[in-house]
Amino acid sequence: MTAYQIIFYLLAAFILSTAVLSVTSRKIFRSAIWLLFSLTGIAGLYFLLQVEFIAAVQIIVYVGGIVVLVIFSIFLTQQAGRKMPNPPMIRTVASLLSVLFGFVLTWVLISQHNFHTAANEFNWTVSKIGLQMTGIGKGGYALPFEVISMLLLAAMVGCIVIAIKVPSAVSSSKSSPGTNPDQ
C-alpha cells in the first residue's frame, strides 16, 4: 500500500461520505457545507491525478462560486435555520432501492470491460491547454470557447432580467394617507 493508494482511498471515502451527508441532512445550511466539503475533496482528487489546472478551476468556480451562490440564495429565501421535513418513508425506501439497483446495474456493465491502460504517460501543461483551447487547426477548441462566452453573457443578462425587482411607481406612494393628522 503506497502513500498514493492510501491518499486515494481516504479521499474517495471523504468525497462519498460528505456527499451522502449532503443529500440526507435535514438542515439546509449544513447540506450546503457538506457539499462544499465534497467539492473540495473532488478538487483534491484532481490534484492527485495530476490535472492541477482542473483542480484550480474546480476550487475557483465550484467551491468559490457556485456554493457561495447557493448560500446566498439560502439567506435570501430565509431558510437558514429551519429544519426541513423528512420525506415520506415510502419515497425514501423506493428511491434507495432504485438507486441501488441502478448502481449495481451500472457497475456490472462497467466491470465487464477490460480497460487497457495506455502505456505512455501524459504531459498536460497549462500552456498546452491554452494553445489548444484557442487553436483553430485540427483539434482546436476556438469555436466552443467563443460560443461559451456568449452563453455566459446570455446567462448573466437572463439572471438579471429574471431576478430584478421592478421598482413600484413613485406616484402611488405620494397619495398615501397621512395627510389628515388631526383625526
* Residue ranges in 75-134 that form contacts with another protein under rule CB under 8 A: 76-77, 79, 84-85, 87, 91-92, 94-96, 98-100, 102-103, 106-107, 110-111, 115-118, 120-122, 124, 128-129, 132-133
Q: Least distance from C-beta 173 to another protein, angstroms?
A: 19
Q: How many helices (H) and strands (E) does the chain have?
A: 8, 0
Closest approach of another protein to the CB of residue 70, in Å = 6
Identity at 76, one-letter amino acid code: L
Kindly determine how many residues on this chain lie close enough to bind another protein according to the rule CB under 8 A: 83
Q: How many CB atoms lie within 10 A of CB 64?
A: 13
> What distance lies between CA 83 and its chain's CA centroid?
23
- Span 24-43, contacts to another protein by CB under 8 A: 24, 28, 31-32, 35, 38-39, 42
Cell of 174: 405620494
In angstroms, how far is CA 84 from the centroid of its own chain? Answer: 21
Instruction: State which of positions 123-182 bind another protein (CB under 8 A).
Output: 124, 128-129, 132-133, 139, 141, 144, 148, 151-152, 155-156, 158-160, 162-163, 165
For another protein, the closer CB: 76 or 169: 76
Q: How far is the CB of 121 from another protein (least distance, A)?
A: 6
Yes or no: say if 48 and 8 are a contact pair by the CB < 8 Å rule: yes
CA 131 – CA 6 distance, rounded (Å): 35
